[in-house]
Amino acid sequence: MGQRNWKLACLFWLACIPIALAQSSRCNVELVARKAVTTSTTAANADGALSAAQERRALQILLKSLERHVVSAADAMPADKYGFAPTDGEFQGVRTFGQQVKHLAAANHILAAAALGEEPPADAGDEAGPETARTKAEILDYLKGSFAHLDSAVAAIGNTSIPVRPSEISPLSAVSVTRMALTVEALIHDFDHYGQMIEYLRMNGVVPPASRP
């Protein structure tokens, strides 16, 4: 598959993921994703290739929408429920809500660091996040910081003076890794865990903010 088609396929994939993973808020996320894909596809058809600015714009739209959904969902869970984890059925041994949020944020930091040619953050641990972030407020701060880090990575798309490095948590090898691929990987991973966060919220009687009137 050509480079341009691969990029468009990634963006289209991102547009479809919320439908499967976050039914409760799929309309809002899907509309934003479709807008990003349509804008970039139209521009690409005009000159035959996506520019770095078009790639950045599409991913920034998706990233900002995802950040709003994830942060609002994390904030909606009461502080005393951050230690909640379902135990019935096949849920035994899964992460608590707080651990889900920290894991999502840690992966953001690790992949953003690789996209910016940085060493992985020492406090990200084995994708578990810093042990020092324990309260809801501390975990929310860590989460917001991870999205800021990822935003910097997206903003650097097209900047050839900034190196890109592979990451141990990514299937991309040193010869196939790109900044755009790493940021897309982070968004896909975030959508996965956002869907799980929504399940945890509803199991505790909390309507996800994206589903409220």
The 10s digit of each residue's pLDDT in 96-125 is: 999 999 999 999 999 999 999 999 999 998
Give the residue from 123, 79, 72 showing the smallest Cα distance to 97. Answer: 79
Alpha-carbon distance of 129 to 156, in angstroms, equals 24
pLDDT at 201: 98
| Nearest partner of 110 among 95, 97, 125, judged by Cα | 125
Domain ranges of the chain: 3-211
pLDDT tens for 18-35 read 434 444 444 454 444 445
The band of 75, judged by pLDDT with boundaries at 50, 70 and 90, is very high
* Mean pLDDT confidence for 131-141: 97
Topology at the third CATH level for domain 3-211: Four Helix Bundle (Hemerythrin (Met), subunit A) (1.20.120)
The runs of H, that is alpha helices, within the chain are: 3-21, 26-47, 52-76, 97-115, 136-155, 179-203
Q: Looking at residue 159, what DSSP letter applies?
A: -
| Cβ contact 56:157 at 8 Å | yes
